[in-house]
Structure 1
Amino acid sequence: MQRYFLEIAYDGTSYHGWQVQHNAVSVQQRVNEALAKILRSPVETVGAGRTDTGVHAKQLYVHVDVEAGQIPNADRFLHALNALLPFDIAARRLLPVQQDAHARFDAVERSYEYHIHFDKDPFSINKSWQLRDYPDVQRMNEAAAFLLGKQDFGCFSKSNTQVFTNICTVTRAEWVDVQGRLIFHVTADRFLRNMVRAIVGTLLDIGLKNKKASSILDVIQSQDRAKAGTSVPAHGLYLTKVIYPYISTES
């Protein structure tokens, strides 16, 4: 068998997240179905991580095992795969890797963006969250700086998740104004479930309610989800990059 990493991108609007569900359509289900048609056998993919219902991905890697020699030409395979995938899922790259390579456990860095707009825009529906009031971006960035480094982020995680630790190392947390819209950029070695959406909600509380930037420290130290802000809607969230030590970031 030969293991491959498949890079995909998708609009998550029509899907109940990445992972296969018993009673709803997921991105993984559609990818598995398309691969099975080409390879003429059942296929099980393993993704770099989960995205929730409505969350988008500009880059996600999955790994899949294929009989050696079954994919003689990667470009032709991608062309055929894209013809079978729905319009809102795209296959970008197919890369042969070592048999023990793992799309989830080998990722050393992940990046997300959260998009916010303020004026009514029909072209941003399900792609960005509309807010009425413009927050204090400087105060939010001052608060975001307290997120950097290695610490326990249990306060931003959904309860009853099956993880061994809530420790994450955040290397970037920054709000950027792009032509009157706001984008929150965050990068870490790993993320807890619902972590980014809870962080964004907490930072917006600070930026909209004139709370002190340092108040986020009390939230982090509490390790209590109830102390953090409300999770913002999923449709503004994008997984944008997944980094592996043995894969070039260049397409």
Structure 2
Amino acid sequence: MRYFLELAYNGKNYFGYQIQPNQISVQEVIEDRLSKILRKQISIVAAGRTDTGVHAKRMFVHFDYEEELTAEIIKKLNSFLPKDIAVYHLFLMDEEAHARFDATSRSYNYYISPFKDPFSYESAWIFNRELNVDKMNEAAKLLIKQGDFGSFAKLHTDVKTNICDVREAFWRKNENNQLVFQITADRFLRNMVRAIVGTLVEVGLGKISIQEFNDIIEQKNRSSAGASAPAHGLYLVDVQYSKELFKNELK
């Protein structure tokens, strides 16, 4: 039987989501705890991969297990998982359901605090220089298209294509007076959102014009874009699937 888990994590203490040699990852921790509870080696597949230090407010993973599970597994998992990883929901799925391939979109938020804040320095980029948000939003509109985003991709990765379908990209202020960049696409390249944010901040500072930002997109060359924004301000906030996929939430 195939199951989906909905979960969240604070990425501060992890070298990204995906398992890697000699470094602690979110995937490794979840698989270890789940395998111990179910007394069988369990492998999980996620909707996507987050980089070192990046957080997820809403992530989905799937795994296979031949016996029927109940929502009791959520309580057990949360009691075994560290405080920076939490599981919220468990779904029984069709056998063909896939956490990564069936996802129709993913959304990220990036948080910038315009003032020194002892309570958000680990969860947002503290940046107190004045930014022209109107110009940053004007530039962000140029991202809304299906195209090659190689200018914002980490170099030397194993992806076969840099084509992404960006469906929304804009800046707004939240109730804490933080500047929030929200972006949704069918898929994202490694380091893509942080590279976009870093480059848009240069637009906001007046270092890059709207036309130059458009040129950067068209050049498809990572060296032409700005530096990546710090990882700790980035959050995976949503993963969308077809509504028909989630038939049975276990409660």
Shorter-chain TM range is: over 0.9
Residue 152 (structure 2) pairs with residue 153 (structure 1): no
Name the counterpart of 2:208: 211
CA RMSD of superposed structures (Å): 1.4
C-alpha displacement of 1:132? 2.2
Q: Distance in 2 between matches of 1:187 and 1:49?
A: 13
Paired position in structure 1 for 2:139 = 143
Q: Which amino acid aligns with 1:36?
A: S
Matched, 1:44 2:27: no
Whole-angstrom CA distance in 1 between matches of 2:208 and 2:218: 17
- Matches of 1:174 and 1:108, distance apart in 2: 20
Q: TM-score under structure 1 normalisation? A: 0.95
What's the TM-score, normalizing by structure 2?
0.95
Please name the residue that 1:226 is paired with. 223
Q: Distance in 2 between matches of 1:197 and 1:80?
A: 35
Give unpaired runs (5+ residues) of structure 1: none
- Counting only pairs closer than 5 Å after superposition, residues 55-70 of structure 1 correspond to structure 2 as 55-69=54-68
Q: Which amino acid in structure 1 is aligned with residue 33 of structure 2?
A: A
Write out per-residue CA displacement over residues 112-161 of structure 1, whole angstroms, 9 at most, x where no aligned residue: 00000022111112200101202100000000000001111011001111
What is the CA-CA distance between 1:180 and the residue it aligns to? 2.5
Using the TM superposition, give the Cα deviation of residue 210 of structure 1 relative to its aligned residue in structure 2, in angstroms. Answer: 4.9
Residues of 2 paired with 1:125 and 1:214: CA distance?
A: 33
Matches of 2:233 and 2:245, distance apart in 1: 28
Q: Which amino acid aligns with 1:235?
A: H
The residue correspondences of 1:4-83 to structure 2 (distance < 5 A) are: 4-69=3-68, 71=69, 73-74=70-71, 76-83=72-79
Among candidates 75, 79, 91, match of residue 95 of structure 1: 91
Task: Give the counterpart letter for 1:95 in structure 2.
Answer: F
- Classify 1:66/1:177 alpha carbon distance in 2 versus 1 (closer, same or farther; 3 Å): same
Query: Displacement of 1:247 after TM fit?
Result: 4.3
Q: C-alpha deviations, 1:141-189, integer Å up to 9, x for none?
A: 0000000011110110011111121111111100001242100000000
Query: Are the equivalent residues in 1 in contact too, given 2:144–2:169 (CA < 8 A)?
Result: yes
For residues 181 and 242 of structure 1, the distance between their equivalents in structure 2, rounded to whole angstroms, comes to: 23
Q: Unpaired runs of 5+ in structure 2?
A: none
56-65 or 172-181, which moves further after superposition?
A: 172-181
* Higher mean C-alpha deviation, range 177-186 or range 111-120: 177-186
The number of residues matched between the two structures is: 246
Residue 186 of structure 1 aligns with an amino acid whose one-letter code is: I
2:240 partner amino acid = I
Q: Quote the Cα distance in structure 2 between the aligned partners of 1:207 and 1:120.
A: 19
| Counterpart amino acid of residue 202 in structure 1 | T
Identity across aligned pairs (percent)? 49
Q: For 2:64 and 2:236, how far apart are their aligned partners in 1?
A: 24
**Aligned letter for 2:137?**
N
Cα distance in 1, alignment partners of residues 103 and 195 from structure 2 = 22
Amino acid corresponding to residue 7 of structure 1 in structure 2: E
Report SS of the residue matched to 2:184. strand
Q: Give structure 1 regions of 4+ aligned residues with deviation exceeding 6 angstroms.
A: none
Distance in 2, Cα, partners of 1:247 & 1:161? 31
